[in-house]
Structure 1
Amino acid sequence: MNHSSDQVHTHTAMVTILELEDGDELAGSWSTPEHDRFGTFRLLLKRTPDNRLLWAHYIQAPDGTTGMVIRGELRHPDELKQLQDTIHRTIRKVTGEELRLEDSDYLASSADGISLRPVQE
């Protein structure tokens, strides 16, 4: 699992969380129930045509803004559980609660308005 500190960004405006290019597919989408103070923690996963697995973890604040985005790459699909476990531990530290990522029907759209649905693993 690769990620670096230069891939951690703070945003208060609309941002592209995970850009899908030609041949990419949204391979998974997970989110927690909304927390009153922090909002919803989300994880998106995309598969590229060369089978790379790229992920983005972010917090969507109650007002809809994106407060944080961390991006990385899984070296192997088996690392997904490790990534989710790491996110769960971080959420517990931040909120003091056991919020769990669950499969979600996150609806996204492309810049040209095409609706995208995840293909869950």
Structure 2
Amino acid sequence: MQPSRRSLLVCGASLLAAGCATRPSLVAASRTWPELEPVGVTAGREGLTVRVASRGCAAKADFVFHVDRAQRDVVIAFARRRIETCRSGQAGGVDLVFGYDELGLKRGERFTIANPPSR
């Protein structure tokens, strides 16, 4: 039985889409969880830089992350483990770096961030 043009076109489009899905990228989250703290995330060569609101005493140890692989794309959520209690310093932000290995991400894996974007 010879394949039809339609089945070849659908198969080719599927393969093309699958090939695009393997590029390393931070994709826009289709759904965020508003109860999570807003963060700014930048994907770099070695990992993610997460910018969080701080008065200057927030540290990486104050945060925890969760990686969910139940969806097609990996979803990563960041949350505070401890509330920032320092009162000194001005309100601003601090950058926290999480390596791809630390997050359990493989090279070329697509992911989204569940936290709403910071403003």
TM-score by length of 2: 0.28
Q: Higher relative CO (CA 8 A, sep ≥ 6), structure 1 or 2?
A: 2
Q: Which has the larger radius of gyration?
A: 2
